A and B are shown apart, each in its own frame.
Chain A
Amino acid sequence: MRIVIVGGGIAAAYAANAIMQKEKGHDVLIVTAEKYPPYDRIHLCRLVDGSATVEDIRLDLHKSVKVELSQKIVSIDTVGKKVFSKNASYSYDKLIIATGSKPKELFDVSELENASTFRSADDGFKIASGIKGSNVVIVGVGPIGLELLDTLVKMDAPNTVFLLSRSRHLYDHVLDPRAVEWIAESFEEDPRVKISFEDEIVDKQIEKNRISKIVTKRYTIENPFLIFGIGKKPNIEFARESLDCDRGILVDDTMKTSDPDIYAVGEAAQLRSTGFIAGRVKECTQQAGVAVDNLLGNKPVNFQMEVAINELKVRAFQFVDVVSPSYDPHSKANEDIIIISKSLKRVDQYIVYKDLLIRFIGLNSNVDVIELKKMMEKKTPVDPSFFYRSRKESKKGRLVCSCTGTYEQDLIELIKENAVTSFSELKGLTRAGRVCGRCRQDIVELIKRVHIDPELAKKIRAQKEAAREEKKMELVRKRIEKFNRLHPRNRITTENLEEALKALDMNREYNRWISMITAQMRLSPAYEEVVDSAVRQLNKIPIVWLELADCSGNSEAFIKTSNPKITDLILNYISLDYHELLMAAAGQHSESVLKSVIQNDKNRYILVVEGAVPLGMDGKFLRIGPRGETGVKLLKRVAEGAVAVMAVGSCALDGGVVAAGPNPTGAVGVSEALGRKDIINLPGCPVNPVNIVGTLIYYIMFDEMPELDSLGRPKWAYGYRIHDNCERRGHFDMDEFVLEWGDEGAKMGWCLFKMGCKGPYAHLNCPQVKFNDGMSWPVQAGHGCIACGEGKIAFDRYANERTIEERKR
């Protein structure tokens, strides 16, 4: 299914990832109007003060999700199922609209040099570059305005900063006036800051593209830089013609719009039932999840509002804001209960509606807000006096991460205990700071505050690492020990392996090979010892190698490898019991070898399959053995008792070249033919033998399959894009391309992208391992990659000497 997601924020990214996580195989395309891939708007202030780049705040996307940048969608054709930008159109089976909202502005500032809204990365950059020496005027006192003010105050660039408030509020109109006063005071400690209450712009002068003067009720401001932070409205103009809309695009509780194939989520969507429009990260991602579940046709799920916790930090004030879904800010029946500590500058503001707590705003509060959240969720009736009598103080300090419910004290303990010195080290210890990302910067600062002796940190880290490795290694050793007790299938045992190596003058080569294999498997050099002992166990495992609809290319590659000569591997270490190309026995006698392995080594032998499985004509395009068994029957018979099945080469992955259009024999891969997902795929045309040997050794060491990607390929070999590791990558970056075979660029080894190299679309370790004893690989030979490891698609789309663009023409 082709799913198009319109939008470039967290809801779009969350929806895309959710699809890839729940069901593989869909084509997911994100179309964003911005020139950056989806990023996290929560951190826009960091773009203003320059502490981060767009790249730093980019949202993680599953690698199969495609993104189209700078395509602002202008209309939807719901009949033809297409969305249009000014110069492109995108077909969809299902559409998700996550276009978010547009900032409100008092007048259009898009053409003005020294005025901006504050909603996108480009807004951030515009502000960053424009405020130097200016008198900044921020209109809007909500959380966005306050956070921006907080950021600007920390910078040297602005000359002065005005914050205009039409009334006497800051943060939210319900916030207690004393809190407002404290905050204003705190900001105005900086002489550059003026917080002007009951003030607004009354006049302005514009010359060309610049505002030369702003006049407010109280001030006349020259050389201004104006920023609107006064709110937002759903960004849905393009959808008004084709979908039912009110303020936002109207959706039912499953997030479906008036068109059954279109969903809308986040700030662009408005619930028909309640009129609710999401504004917080949590609600947006929750809606995206609901939309994806319904769109994929899983169990129907409805969006339900939950109690939300928001945080904000400005100056020395830490806000925490807990809101129940039943909170109505304009209800007359709302009552405030305020507990204030002047000396601590602490405010606990409870808002109660008919015996129910519906909102809590805390300023530097130490109340346990998770308790309050539970109270709101359970709808526990309370008497106002309860809050005075039993103040639920948090024993663990303030709540740092509301998504995971992690308190400051929890984090400090975690940090000390594990000698954490950077945010990344917290990974695996806690999810705090990694859900919505809001508190991430907070945690980073917390880590800085907690003193950790660097020496101690180093020691603890090293100890932990060592303990982890030792535990893993111990498992591996035990596993190998198990093989030690088995009778070797070849006579070569650990003792006379030494002798055999000596006889073949291969001791040095052997050690080098062990290092090479260890490195290729992306294990640390400490593993060399166990890799070595695993290699010595290879001859304990019977291996059956079946050739189906193939060309023997993978067998050829296997016997041509070296370091040490793999042929010695075959003769000495691996017990390759059945292999049509290499075995001495033939006909009935080779059949009986196969039979004996299947019977006597049930659940012990490894099956290696090379070639596609033709299913057309009942599988009769391939018959093997004295009884003329079809290829597919033979495969099923041998696979049944195999402890693991490895599909080598691209044909075994998905039919490869044999299944290329029009797939004359109905060929499929091993996984599909067997209807099994637990096949280890090692594609490539042919597969690099290092990847076969590495996988065998991995199996011996860990008794499990290596981590596989979505195509069932081991990540250690297939997790890297050829383009990213290519020896010619530098030339790509420098725009140095071969433009004609044999030209000067070709002689100098420039980038082959324009000659149709498909390295950017291929995931394999060819650039690192190379072929034929590291002698070369296709890019080195000046031809470029054909992405042969991607399966049959390589032979329908990639195996040519033209770029994807040229090929379309």
Chain B
Amino acid sequence: MSKKKIVIDPVTRIEGHLRIEVEIDENNVVKEARAAGQLFRGIEIILKGRDPRDAGLIAQRICGVCTNVHYRASVTAVENAYGIVPPPNAQIIRNLITLSLFVQDHIVHFYHLHSLDYVDIVSALEADVKKAEEVAVSYHDYPYRSSVGHFSSIKEKLTSFVKAGRLGLFANGYWGHDAYRLSPEENLILVNHYMEALRIQTTLSKAIAIFTGKTPHPQNLVVGGVTSVADMLNPQRLNDFIFIIKDVHDFIERAYIPDMKLLVNAYKEEMKSGVGRGSGNFMAAGSYMIRGEEKIFEDGVIFDHDFDGIEPFDEKHITEEMARSWYKSDSNDPYSEKTEPFYTDLNEDGTLKGEEKYSWIKSPRYRAKPMEVGPAARMIVGYLKDSKRIKPVLKSFMEETGMELIDLSSTIGRNVARAVEAKICSDAIFDFCSDLIENIKYYDEETWTKFDFDKLPKETQGCGIHEVPRGVLSHFVRIEEGKIANYQVIAPTTWNASPKGEKGKRGPYEESLIGIRLSDPSRPLEVLRVVHSFDPCIACAVHIVNTRGKSLSQYRISPV
């Protein structure tokens, strides 16, 4: 059996420097896959020795896409270490921002980073605009900007791009590839919303900036609360925020959800046959209390698609392996254990040394198993735990499209989970807004919990664990002599993009690639689909962490 190696580097339309290598057999079926992070920066090393209050401003720079959530997780970890609880208004403002980010991330991911794997822009030129309108109406009574006139002008614009022969960003896509399934009209509908979503994501970031000063890299969180009290008390600012969210909510209802239904129908066969399905281990940590009674996201852990065997999440089962990652550790004495970068290079021809170490990403494991995190995990867990916020929305979507729960564990399924989640988050934002207005109305204007830094314990540790758009994010901080002694991050992409672990068990990206068939190995579109369906964010994923089943914050890191 002859094996052929395909290298995709850079994987584009993702954050960060990711390489995918797959080996295919003579039938073009993937037999082996490797995912490798290709950049190491060492933000944790930089954090070491700094004042814990400064962690947030540095840690948020782990990623410019998920910037907000690292900021929050970092500040929360320090608050957790000191036992500081921010006042309700501060929590609400933090939640408004995080949930807006969920919506923004999901929209940008689907339309701008992922949809071109399913949508053939060139084919959209053939569309009959009248027919396109009819198709759009079949998915929603009032589809978003889908009149014949509007379709005509979009089509005209596209025609002028394509005719020029130079497509700017659209150049060299896999246009005309066999794996594209949409009709010209369906392609046009999605291209239309691709353009609309550009505007939506811009206005949504304006909404976020109302409370954060700017985005990316917001600047409004401090240990103990938030700083944007003047914006919170200004009715005009809150009003602007709510109206943008209303606009976005409208887009989700009339564009994002219907488009997803369209996609499910077109690629149903693929979904039902489980293309892009991984090992079936899902993990969600749960997050975001609303009105002190219910969580928006439930926690739970599932192994091997055993939906009946769901168990509660417990962080103490998290370990991390590095047999195939470019780190080494001196493990003779657990208390002096150090993790250091240990780079063993690439092969001469620039390919990965697949049987040795090959990635800057480590392999976090739960009960020694690789876990998939993210919207699919959250939606499955929420459904199984009868979440009032998740189950009804998800159920109605599944019924309309003929889906079962197992279908979420696929390339298309991850996208469905993301769209449904965007709707759930945008609904929740309104609830948080009304709570905030209620508080202010009754003169609760507090946004910060006072503390005297000099009187806080000098030795302590804490963690901030949140569900964020791509999955479970955990920041751990250990403080000694009032300074950061150790700082560790496990980001969602660390879980999903992890390389093989100690027993050679593949990470979720890798496992999900096994068995897919490429119709044209020189244009590996099917590989991109699987990888993109996880919404990779590699800057987040590369971190020095070492746990080996012990408490996460006991280990030292040493600079290179």
A residues touching B (Cβ–Cβ < 8 Å)? 488-492, 496, 500, 503, 547, 549-557, 559-562, 565, 567-568, 570-571, 574-577, 579-590, 592-593, 612, 614, 616-617, 620-629, 631, 657-658, 660-665, 667, 685-686, 740-742, 746-749, 770-773, 775-784, 786, 788, 795, 799-801
Q: Among A575, A612, A621, which residue has the most Cβ atoms of chain B within 10 A?
A: A621
Closest 7 CB pairs of A and B: A553-B64, A781-B213, A664-B42, A584-B173, A585-B172, A491-B164, A771-B214
Residues of B with C-beta under 8 A to A661? 46
In residues 316-364 of chain B, which contact A (Cβ within 8 Å)?
A: 341, 343, 345-346, 349-351
Q: Which of B42, B121, B446, B539 makes the CB contact (< 8 A) with A742?
A: B446
B97: shortest Cβ distance to chain A, in Å? 11
Nearest chain A residue, comparing its CB with the CB of B47: A660
Query: Is B493 interfacial (CB-CB < 8 Å)?
Result: no
Contact (A560, B202) CB under 8 Å given A665-B42, A781-B228 = yes
Q: Does B80 count as interface, using CB distance less than 8 angstroms? A: no
Contacts of B367 on A, CB cut-off 8 Å? none
User: Whole-angstrom distance from the CB of A730 to the nearest CB of chain B?
Assistant: 15
**Complex alpha-carbon distance, A586 and B529, angstroms:** 12
Task: Say whether B524 contacts A576, CB under 8 Å.
Answer: no
B contact residues around A571 at 8 Å (CB): 161, 168-169
Give the residue of A500, A555, A568, A786 whose beta carbon is less than 8 angstroms from that of B57: A786
A664→B46 contact, CB < 8 A: yes
Closest chain-A Cβ to B86's Cβ sits at a distance in Å of 10
Neighbouring A residues of B219 by C-beta, 8 Å: 778, 781, 783-784, 786
Closest approach, in angstroms, between the C-beta of A728 and any C-beta of chain B? 10
* B132 in contact (CB, < 8 A): no
Contacting residues of chain B (163-200) with chain A, CB-CB under 8 angstroms: 163-164, 166, 168-174, 198-199
Cα A491 to Cα B41 in complex, Å, equals 40
Residues of B within 8 A of A795 (CB): 46, 57-58, 61
CB of A362, distance to nearest CB on chain B (Å): 66
Contact B169 A570 (CB under 8 A): yes
Task: Name 10 extra pairs, CB < 8 A, besides A777-B214, A782-B229.
Answer: A489-B168, A555-B64, A565-B199, A571-B169, A612-B41, A622-B40, A625-B9, A661-B46, A773-B206, A782-B230
Does B231 lie at the interface of the complex (its beta carbon under 8 Å from any beta carbon of A)?
A: yes
Contacts of A629 in B (CB 8 A): 350
Q: Is the CB of B12 within 8 A of A551?
A: no
The answer, yes or no, to whether B483 is at the interface (CB within 8 Å) is: no
Min Cβ gap B404→A in Å is: 32
Q: Is the CB of A657 within 8 A of B46?
A: yes
For residues 368 through 427 of chain B, which have their beta carbon under 8 Å from a beta carbon of chain A? Answer: none
Q: Assess the B160–A741 pair: CB atoms within 8 A.
A: no
Q: Tell me the minimal C-beta distance from B135 to chain A in angstroms.
A: 22
Q: 6 A-B pairs, CB-CB below 8 angstroms?
A: A581-B13, A775-B206, A776-B231, A781-B211, A781-B228, A799-B54
CA distance A625 to B9 in the complex (A): 5
A352 CA to B506 CA, complexed, in Å: 100
CB <8 Å contact, A490 and B164: yes
* Given A555-B64, A582-B169: A772 and B205 interface contact (C-beta under 8 Å): yes
Known: A586-B10, A776-B209, A782-B227. A489 touches B58 (CB 8 A): no
Q: How far is the CB of A338 from chain B (nearest CB, A)?
A: 76
Chain B nearest CB: distance from A626 CB in Å? Answer: 5
Name A570's contact: one of B9, B12, B61, B168 (CB within 8 Å).
Answer: B168
Residues of A within 8 Å of B343, CB to CB, are 617, 620-621
Q: What band does the interface of chain B fall in when counting residues whose beta carbon is under 8 Å from A?
A: 35 or more
Nearest residue (CB) in A for B21 is A626
> Is B257 positioned at the interface, with any CB of A under 8 Å from its CB?
no
> Complex: how many Å from CA A799 to CA B222?
12
Query: Known contacts A624-B9, A626-B9: does B61 contact A551 (CB below 8 Å)?
Result: yes
The residues in B between 3 and 19 inclusive whose CB is less than 8 angstroms from any CB of A are 7-17, 19
B228 (CB) vs chain A CBs: closest residue: A781
In the complex, chain B residues whose CB is within 8 Å of the CB of A576: 168-169
**Would you call A749 and B214 a contact (CB within 8 A)?**
no
Complex CA distance for A800 and B230, rounded to whole angstroms: 21
B12 to chain A: closest residue by CB: A586
- Asked if residues B213 and A783 are in contact (CB atoms below 8 Å), the reply is yes
CA distance in complex: A244, B41 (Å)? 54
CA distance A631 to B168 in the complex (A): 23
Q: Give the Cβ gap from B195 to chain A, nearest Cβ, in Å.
A: 8
The CA of A631 and the CA of B445, in the complex, are separated in Å by 49
* A780 in contact with B164 (CB, 8 Å): no
Where the two chains meet, the residues of B that have a C-beta atom closer than 8 Å to any C-beta of A are 7-17, 19, 38-43, 45-46, 51, 53-54, 57-58, 61-65, 67, 112-113, 116, 121, 153, 156-157, 160-161, 163-164, 166, 168-174, 198-199, 201-202, 205-206, 208-220, 222, 224-225, 227-231, 233, 341, 343, 345-346, 349-351, 445-448, 450, 522-524, 528, 539, 559-560
CB-CB under 8 A from B523, the residues of chain A are 589
> Is A686 a contact of B64 with CB atoms below 8 Å?
yes
A585 touches B45 (CB 8 A): no
Contact B231 A664 (CB under 8 A): no
Q: Do A575 and B206 have beta carbons less than 8 Å apart?
A: no
Q: Would A491 and B224 be within 8 Å (CB), given that A585-B173, A782-B231 are in contact? A: no
Residues from chain A with Cβ under 8 Å of B350 in the complex:
623, 625-629
Check if A490 sits within 8 Å of B11, measured CB to CB.
no
Is the contact region of chain A dominated by helix, strand, or loop, or is it mixed? loop
Q: For the complex, what is the distance from the CA of A620 to the CA of B39, rounded to whole Å?
A: 8
Distance in angstroms from B75 CB to nearest chain A CB is 11
Evaluate contact between B214 and A626: CB separation under 8 angstroms: no
Q: Indicate if the CB atoms of B168 and A560 lie closer than 8 Å.
A: no
B12 partner, pick from A568, A590, A626, beta carbons under 8 A = A590
Please indicate the chain B residues that have their CB under 8 angstroms from the CB of A742 in the complex. Answer: 225, 227, 229, 445-448
Measured CB to CB, the closest approach of chain A to B558, in angstroms, equals 10
In the complex, are the beta carbons of B230 and A747 less than 8 A apart?
yes
- A490-B51 Cα distance, complex, nearest whole Å: 50
Q: How far, in Å, is A801 (CB) from chain B's closest CB?
A: 6
B230 to A488, Cβ gap below 8 A?
Answer: no
Contact between B12 and A581 (Cβ–Cβ < 8 Å)?
yes
A587 with B7, Cβ < 8 A, contacts A620-B345, A772-B215, A782-B227 known: yes
Say whether B166 contacts A490, CB under 8 Å. yes
* Interchain nearest-CB distance for A309 vs B (Å): 58
**Chain A residue at minimal CB-CB distance from B54:** A800
Find chain A residues with CB under 8 A from B445 CB.
742, 747
Q: Which of A552, A559, A772 contacts B206 (CB 8 A)?
A: A772
Residues on B with C-beta less than 8 A from A777 are 213-214
Asked if A562 meets B202 with Cβ closer than 8 Å, knowing A552-B539, A777-B214, A799-B57, the reply is yes
**B206 near A580: Cβ-Cβ < 8 Å:** no
B13 CB contacts on chain A under 8 angstroms: 580-584, 586
Most buried by A among B16, B113, B172, B222: B172
- Distance between A796 CB and nearest chain B CB, rounded to angstroms: 9
Q: Which residues of B contact A770 (CB under 8 A)?
A: 214
Q: Does the CB pair B230–A778 fall under 8 Å? A: no
Q: Given known contacts A771-B213, A800-B51, is B202 in contact with A746 (CB within 8 Å)?
A: no
Q: Bound complex: CA of A801 vs CA of B75, how far in Å?
A: 13
In the complex, the answer to whether A657 meets B43 with C-beta atoms within 8 Å is yes
Q: Are A776 and B164 in contact, CB atoms less than 8 angstroms apart?
A: no
> When the two chains form their complex, are residues B220 and A552 in contact, meaning their CB atoms are under 8 A apart?
no
Q: Choose from B38, B166, B559 the contact partner of A664 (Cβ within 8 Å).
A: B559
> Is the beta-carbon distance between B227 and A771 smaller than 8 angstroms?
no
A561 to B215, CA, bound (A): 10
Closest chain B residue to A491, Cβ basis: B164
B222 cross-chain contacts in A, Cβ below 8 A: 741, 783, 801
Q: Are B10 and A580 in contact (CB under 8 A)?
A: yes
A741 touches B169 (CB 8 A): no
A583-B346 in contact (CB<8A):
no
Minimum Cβ distance to chain B for residue A684 (Å): 9
Whether B213 contacts A741 by the Cβ 8 Å rule is no
CA distance A749 to B42 in the complex (A): 37
Contact A491 B61 (CB under 8 A): no
Task: Kindly state the separation between the CA atoms of A592 and B53 in the bound complex, as whole angstroms.
Answer: 46
Q: Given A585-B12, A771-B209, do A621 and B39 touch, yes or no (CB 8 Å)?
A: yes
